A = this chain, B = another copy of it.
Amino acid sequence: MLIGFEIDYKTLPYSRRERNLVTQTTNGRGPKIRDVALHAGVSTATVSRALTDPASVRPALRDKVLEAVKALGYTPNAAARSLRAGRTRTILVVTRKRWSAPFFSEVLNGIDTTLARAGHAMILGNFDAGDRREEEIIDMMFSGHIDGAIILSGIAADTGTRSMLDAGLPIVSISAAVAGTLAIVTDEGESIVRLADHLLDGGHRRFLYLAGPLGNYNETVRWAALRAHLAGRADATLARIEGDYTMPAGIAAAKDFLAMAERPSAVVACNDEMAIGFMKTVRAAGVAVPGAVSVAGFDGIEFADYCEPTLTTIRQPRFELGAAGAETLLKMLAGTMALADGPVRLVNRLRLADSTAPLGAG
């Protein structure tokens, strides 16, 4: 349990998917370590240990693995193993499709700069680029091309991540708390409470929350903290509009807002892009920000200082999140840091700008 967010792998249809993978991977590509594991009815980690350190595996299991290896004609990639033995000095960074968004690109910048200084290269793998890419990435974890991985995704619980953990390499997750990895997070819940207090102090009581995608770690943490905090105020109300972190989602939310009979006076968006799309749209409809509605974002991207009006937001240390993630992984590889030393928590800053004002004073 980490910061009130838990992932239950048992609920995932893992075995069915694994069975499908066998059909795909043995189809012209040669058997993979996962195929051997499925055939033997053991984990991929057990297969790996049975082949590289036989003494560490019970004889009965070892026999099962060797039988499966024989039956499938599996040959471990000798070249890959050789590279691995000498340290590949290459780190896999797993992303989701939003990696080119301002928040993540600056985190990646922090990772890249830090790895570069240490003489490591970075492979970017995008899990949203399709099942085949996901398989390639997982194979990479097993075949010795990389030393470790950094997961940069709010969507923490999935079969891909689970398979990566099976490979037994050190993994760091940034801005998400993935079980089995060392997490680098910020005080997101506390931050959104500070933001809510700023608005409550200004007399606001009717709140609207623009949500991120369901199941996303950051969305889950921020919403839970905001809801719990406002639930403690009998005079406060909290509406919610679903979104997906994009500026068009902010535009769509603004249209819903404009149609409301009793409009909230304070809008808290789960990220800056939605807040910026929202402001642009309500202002175009003649609704003053912050005169008629105060608007706040989350993340503190650079454009939050250049939109109109400048955006009150929670400034996350984006570059530092990436740098801390890379440093932590390098320490895990060097043996000077371990899972138990996590999570690493960085502190956000409340950035007050022109988009929020006391009720009726904008």
Contact = CB atoms under 8 A, between A and B. Distances in A.
Contact of A100 (B108, B124, B125): B108
A123 B92 CA distance: 9
B123 A123 contact: yes
Contact of A132 (B78, B119, B302): B119
A259 interface: no
A140 to B, nearest CB: 7
A140 B112 contact: no
Given A119-B132, A303-B303, A82 B90 contact: no
A106 interface: yes
Interface in A85-133: 86, 89-90, 99-102, 105-106, 108-109, 112-113, 116-117, 119, 121-126, 129-130, 132-133
A77 to B, nearest CB: 8
A123 B125 contact: no
Given A116-B133, A129-B112, A122 B123 contact: yes
A149 to B, nearest CB: 13
A212 interface: no
A125 B122 CA distance: 7
A80 interface: yes
B106 A100 contact: yes
- Number of copies of this protein chain within its complex: 2
Overall SS of chain A's interface: helix
A129 B109 contact: no
Contacts of A293: none
A105 B122 CA distance: 16
Given A79-B83, A123-B122, A117 B130 contact: yes
Nearest to A101: B105
B116 A126 contact: yes
Interface string A34-60: 000000000000000000000000000
A194 interface: no
A276 interface: yes
Contact of A83 (B83, B129, B277): B83
Q: Which 5 A-B pairs have the closest CB atoms?
A: A116-B129, A308-B308, A79-B82, A100-B105, A116-B133
28 contacts: A78-B79, A78-B82, A83-B83, A90-B123, A99-B105, A100-B106, A113-B126, A116-B126, A116-B129, A117-B132, A117-B133, A119-B132, A119-B133, A121-B123, A121-B125, A121-B136, A121-B137, A121-B140, A122-B125, A123-B124, A247-B302, A276-B303, A276-B306, A277-B306, A280-B306, A303-B306, A303-B307, A307-B308
